[in-house]
Amino acid sequence: DSGVTQTPKHLITATGQRVTLRCSPRSGDLSVYWYQQSLDQGLQFLIQYYNGEERAKGNILERFSAQQFPDLHSELNLSSLELGDSALYFCASSALGSGGWYNEQFFGPGTRLTVL
Amino acid sequence: EDQVTQSPEALRLQEGESSSLNCSYTVSGLRGLFWYRQDPGKGPEFLFTLYSAGEEKEKERLKATLTKKESFLHITAPKPEDSATYLCAVQAKAAGNKLTFGGGTRVLVKP
């Protein structure tokens, strides 16, 4: 158990819909990352937040957005869903190490999204 | 653009048959190289971080090494419970703190 929690575990929805995925980081970690894992693309970085502020952006679609709340939990919002958005979505968290770099990332169990 | 290539894609081993997984990378200034283990349908589990060429880390039957262009994950006398996908990722100094992952190596250890 990494200490990172994600809900829900599974989500089945239809094209065009909007869903929200939730993540709680490990105790004490201020940084949260979101990743998408699909069979053809592997594990892809989407976005990073640190203490409520966006820090880095990867290949995140404009239909997707995220935020980190004052209690440090984070939500990933996916809208206008398409069949190709079906994937595993992982949240990870890390602590700030020395020199301003972030330590290793610890991953949650993921949310499996199926778009029908 | 940072790139990570893992080989082989899949590896079938007999229990006790040692082997090595390769992770080749191109990155503009490596900050760290990470190894993770992932079981089907689960989140990646952190194994090692390597920071500089020549560094080695060990954990049970696993040993990770790093050169300037690649990293190896050696599995010594594997057991069936070592069956998993092993992922390698790099963190570049110029790319903030995101991890760029390779495609992984699926390892199956047969008893």
Separation of alpha carbons B39 and B23, rounded Å: 19
Average model confidence (pLDDT) for chain B? 94
| Per-residue model confidence as pLDDT tens digits over B24-73 | 999 888 889 999 999 999 999 999 999 999 999 999 999 999 999 999 99
pLDDT exceeds cutoff 90 at B106 = yes
State the pLDDT at residue A96.
76
The amino acid occupying position A111 is T
Task: Say if residue A8 is preceded by a cis peptide, omega within 30 of 0.
Answer: yes
> How far apart, in whole angstroms, are the C-alpha atoms of residue A91 and residue A74?
9
Which one of A7, A40, A93, A107 would you mutate to disrupt binding with B, by most B Cβ within 10 Å of its Cβ? A107
Q: Name B65's bridge partners.
A: B56, B72
* Contact assignment for B100 to A45 by CB distance below 8 Å: yes
pLDDT tens-place values along chain A, 116 residues long: 889 999 999 999 999 999 999 999 999 999 999 999 998 778 999 999 999 999 889 989 999 999 999 999 999 999 999 999 999 999 999 987 666 666 789 999 999 999 99
**Chain B residues with CB-CB distance to A103 below 8 A:** 49
**H or E element, residue B36:** strand B30-38
- CA–CA gap between residue B27 and residue B92 (Å, rounded): 6
Q: Contact at 8 Å (CB) between B78 and B20?
A: no
Any residues with CB less than 8 A from the CB of A71 and at least 6 apart, and which? none
Using the 8-state DSSP alphabet, how is residue B69 labeled?
A: S
